[in-house]
Structure 1
């Protein structure tokens, strides 16, 4: 039986730990709410129709962010198109083949490299793509920006695909293989169907992450004041425009930067909510 004094001491420690945890949560939420409120209040005040119908303006002129929105959409979708398929295939390899004796060294190497990519600063990835693509081409381009974003997408999709496939019950694999179904058909027709909501969620989270990346685009796509859909040329994008306009001395550019930040924040929020809705729906379906 626990002595009363020892019980009181344990209870006091528990209450102190809970109080510290609550204070830490409140401290973090305070800054998050402050940032969100500042972005929303300034962004909503700067919203207008010109924002979605006019190009980025020169100093002292009025304009919008149409070319930046289109450029960000093009590079983000290209980044997903390049990084997601490779990530799904690599995650499939780690989940289904890396535990075999002949593939174990390669699997450990892939996991190690993926962990490095997952924690690598985005500016380092931008410098790498600058050396690999921009320096060889001799100029900035949207394609280089998309490749840099793909390097950010890749580790997220690899990790998500690996974990989602490992959650598929082993009985499903064994049942399909016992019927004589080839391994690749088991993966495509059984495992992917079961893990697809989780894989799609990982891709959406990767999209939400890359749409606000600024550092890699500064070294790859740079910016373009004019309308262009040429992926081999510099292309405007919202993060770089926000960075440049926020650092400028022009009030009109400041308003456009706040409006761009608001739209970007809203897009990230909606994408995250969609990803969570997919996960919740998948859990309800399994229950």
Structure 2
């Protein structure tokens, strides 16, 4: 009979000691994770509560129907800035969505077959991490300085350059989740590669691709720096995208720095509107368009 059978407690003592150390590390890790999550949620709650307290009073019908007020005047709203933001973001989304989806499909299909795909992925990663002000300065130098005037089109180009890599990366990642058995079944039926990519692979993850587009829209909706260099601002109600256009991020920035109480109140209201719009887009993208990848 061996020693472990004669004296089991002493034989298991080293094992129990290792188990207790691992259990302690596990509990410490869980505690730190919960603490970090709590701190993040607390900061987010603090921001949202501050926005609601300061911006709720500015929410009114006038905010959505009247243009930005003159300096020192009472009343007014953000109707021109809201319209300008919708037009600029809408145009940039129309431009960036097809480019991003097609580029993502190309990377998913040919990403491991040629150097062009590797370069495309590398450039996409750089654009994802590039500061938005750098993109704004680039569009200013390439477009605004050439045309000699600010415009909503320039703002849309800048925001599209920010949105494209988001859509590309999301589309690429989602398409790579499609099981190979599904693709092999389509190839076995004689379908060409382009048709499999469009009608089988993309359709299988269309909800995830839509999620990527919505996340890109949320990403660019609150960008200020690119619009300062491109669309600038407009005190009046304008639908002409070939000239300076009012937009919420720039108006919020200008009004928040002003000495006028009315402007600062409208800035809080605009910030509240942008924040909850972005929050709503994120919630919609993660709930309504969530789906499982077919096996």
Structure 1 runs of 4+ aligned residues shifted over 4 Å read: none
Superposed CA deviations along residues 227-257 of structure 1, whole A, max 9, x for unmatched, are: 1111110100001000000000000001100
Give the alignment's TM-score, normalised by structure 1. 0.94
Equivalence for 1:47 = 59
5 Å-filtered alignment, 1:125-144, equals 125-144=135-154
Query: How many Å apart are 1:286 and its aligned residue?
Result: 4.8
Residue from 68, 88, 94 that aligns with 2:81: 68
Select which of 141, 145, 158 maps to 1:148.
158
Rg larger in 1 or in 2?
2
TM, length-normalised to structure 2: 0.91
Q: How far apart, in 2, do the equivalents of 1:6 and 1:184 lie?
A: 56
Structure 1: runs of 5+ lacking an equivalent: none
Partner of 1:211: 221
Aligned counterpart, 1:35: 47
Residue-pair matches, total: 282
Q: Distance in 2 between matches of 1:165 and 1:4?
A: 46
Deviations 1:170-204 (A, max 9, x none): 22222222222222222222122112111110000
SS in 2 for 1:8: helix
User: Which SS does the other structure have where 2:95 is aligned?
Assistant: helix
1:253 and 2:263 are equivalent in the alignment:
yes
Deviation at 1:58, TM superposition (A): 0.8
2:238 counterpart residue number = 228
1:64-103 alignment, distance < 5 Å:
64-100=77-113
Label 1:192 to 1:4 Cα distance change in 2 as closer, same or farther (>3 A): closer
RMSD over equivalenced CA pairs, Å: 1.5
Pick closer, same or farther for the CA change 1:4–1:172 going to 2, 3 Å. Answer: closer
Contact 1:51/1:66 (CA < 8 Å) preserved in 2? yes
Taking a change above 3 Å as real, the CA distance of residues 172 and 18 of structure 1, as seen in their structure-2 partners, is closer
SS at match of 1:167: coil
Residue ranges of structure 2 left out of the alignment (5+ in a row): 1-11
Which of 245, 248, 252 is matched with 1:242 structurally?
Answer: 252
**C-alpha offsets along residues 53-87 of structure 1, whole Å, 9 cap, x if unaligned?**
10011112220000000000000011111111111
SS of 1:117 mapped into structure 2: helix
Task: Decide which of 112, 115, 123 is 1:113's aligned counterpart.
Answer: 123
Aligned pair in 2 of structure 1 residues 276, 136: CA closer, same or farther (>3 Å)? same
Question: Does the 8 Å contact 1:201/1:278 carry over to 2?
Answer: no
Measured at CA, do residues 177 and 15 of structure 1 come closer, stay the same or move farther in structure 2, by a change above 3 Å? Answer: closer
* Deviation by residue 1:66-125 (Cα, 9 ceiling, x = unmatched): 00000000000111111111111110110012222xxx2111101100000001111111
